[in-house]
Chain A
Amino acid sequence: MSDGSLLALNLAEARDGLARKVFSARELAAAYNDAIAGAKPLNAYITPTPERALEMADAADQRLTRGEALPLDGIPVAVKDLFCTKDILTTAGSHILDGFHPPYESTVTDKLWRAGAVMLGKTNLDEFAMGSSSTTSWYGPVENPWRRHPEPQMGDNRPLVPGGSSGGSAAAVAARAALAAIGTDTGGSIRQPASFCGIVGLKPTYGRCSRWGVVAFASSLDHPGPMGRTVLDVAIILGVMAGHDVKDSTSAPMPVPDFAAALSGDIRRLRIGIPKEYRVDGMPDEIEALWRQGVEWLQAAGAEPVEISLPMTKYALATYYIIAPAEASSNLARYDGVRFGLRVDGDSLDEMYVLTRAAGFGAEVRRRVLIGTYVLSAGYYDAYYLKAQRVRTLIARDFAKAFERVDCILTPTAPSAAFIIGENTDDPITMYLNDVFTVPANLAGLPAISVPAGLSGDGLPLGLQITGRAFDEETVLRVAQILENAASFRHLPSFIAGGGG
């Protein structure tokens, strides 16, 4: 097979081709290595690992030949550079982790490699996963492979953000520079870039996938999860990533179901909640229209739409922007120039700390650490942090109440399509508004997926989001696949590695 046609396969198809020996894992890995080299202008990868990919592919080929294939044998996967990978540079997109080569492997990536997956490299992200645009990385911004117009003379064709913070992973999958990827989602960082890049992204239930070995941003909100070309692809990867881990005390001791088997195509009589509070001011009509279209698709498949109310929705962002910075300021205290990463020398220990952290953190990280420090400081803790935690309870309660009446909730993923690199940077709050539909599921710890459902008027992908009950990824995936089939999203971005085929 040509590189172009190898790269066009989704995960399930590639697995089938490997099993039937139509091509080898090495051929597949080599095609992706070339694709990554060709996709360099997108800046989706910080550290490609082509040699490691070939070694792992060779090992997979040996198992495939012996008929001892593992669940993901030979499947090339990109890893957000927030997951610690043993002896491979791990940066979190930050200057302060200069040269950090973890002496250990994150639980989730370890599970992937043990299942036979092939590591393509580490993908770019917003610094410490703090952002919605993948523009704050020390390693430069990621470019979305989609453009508004394929030809420059047709109109404004400036490069767009891929969303964030898992923007490198999303751009790589969309541009066929990765077959699938893993990301993390603290306030929408898997789902919003999936929506912006026209791929599928799933944030599982809190506790479903171990956080051990993931560089911490906000521990009570961070969720590792899969990103891929299809709902089936992410269901397959989730099955490998998920499971209890004694090394993460918040990891849930729950059995891992066969997520792929949950994709029955039958959603008859399922009740789909439509929250009226998600009709926010300034949301483009085309997103509202796509949402209505989504309702009709699910209705046509036999589901029953139910108008619901999540009255605390409007307070979710403000709650998030207290809790996340508070946890971040605590987690990021470890970057002190002593044990790993950057050190800027000073005359005293304290001077070394303040100089190292001033040089090592970018503007957005610094802003959030300062906000977090403030809301946790004596005299302000109750007014800000404790208040936000109480509102968080009410947000979770809204969902609990809704799930007494419905089986899942349908909303748009984001209030806009991808925007131009450099836009929304004047005012931090404008950037924060990107997460208005995704943040509530993080606060409540619920599973939520984004599925590409249509194109905006200027030709950019738009996603729809399904949110479910805790530990009911199966329903979320099943409904998502109905949307995927109905939308039958076959559009391709302007930039495709290997030229398509």
Chain B
Amino acid sequence: MALDKAAVAHIATLARIRLSEAELEPLADELSSILTWVEQLNEVDTVGVAPMASAASVSLPMRDDVVIDGGCREAILGNAPRAARGFFTVPKVVE
């Protein structure tokens, strides 16, 4: 699969990474060569083969629905680039 500049710009939008116009062309080349390389998997017959999401053979364990941790708002907000009155703050979203 060869990606063009427009495709790379679209992926970058989905990934929320700003790219400059000058970065699109070289990235299109790099990503295209990686995608072309991984397409060797098309040689493999996988009809009827179940996908493997994890090597863990255990199914997800259940536990009682009770609070086991928490009550540490200050500690959590301590790493926030901006916080006010017990909340994370971000640029205004609603007009």
Contacts and interface: CB of A to CB of B under 8 A. Distances in A.
Interface string B77-95: 0111110000010110100
A249 B60 contact: yes
Contacts of B8: 370
A101 B16 contact: no
A103 B78 contact: yes
B22 interface: no
Interface stretch (A300-308, A339-347, A415-423): A339-347
A241 B33 CA distance: 40
Contact of A338 (B27, B38, B80): B80
B14 A390 contact: no
Contacts, number: 166
Nearest to A329: B15
A447 to B, nearest CB: 11
A349 B44 contact: no
A428 B79 contact: no
Given A103-B79, A321-B38, A444-B55, A370 B15 contact: yes
A428 B30 contact: yes
Contacts of A15: none
B44 to A, nearest CB: 5
Interface residues of B, number: 50
A434 to B, nearest CB: 15
Interface stretch (A154-162, A168-176, A381-389, A485-493): A381-389
Contacts of A357: 15-18
A355 interface: yes
Given A103-B79, A341-B79, A428-B30, A220 B14 contact: no
Given A347-B91, A370-B31, A389 B52 contact: yes
A127 to B, nearest CB: 14
A318 B39 CA distance: 8
Interface string B11-40: 110111111000000010011011101111
Nearest to B77: A339
Interface of B: 3, 8, 11-12, 14-19, 27, 30-31, 33-35, 37-44, 46, 49-58, 60-61, 63, 72, 75-76, 78-82, 88, 90-91, 93
Interface of A: 99-103, 206-207, 220, 246, 249-250, 252-253, 312, 315, 318-319, 321-322, 329, 333, 336-343, 345-355, 357-358, 361, 366-367, 369-371, 373-374, 377, 384, 386-394, 396, 427-429, 443-446, 470
11 contacts: A249-B60, A315-B43, A321-B37, A339-B80, A342-B81, A352-B90, A352-B91, A369-B17, A371-B31, A390-B44, A393-B51
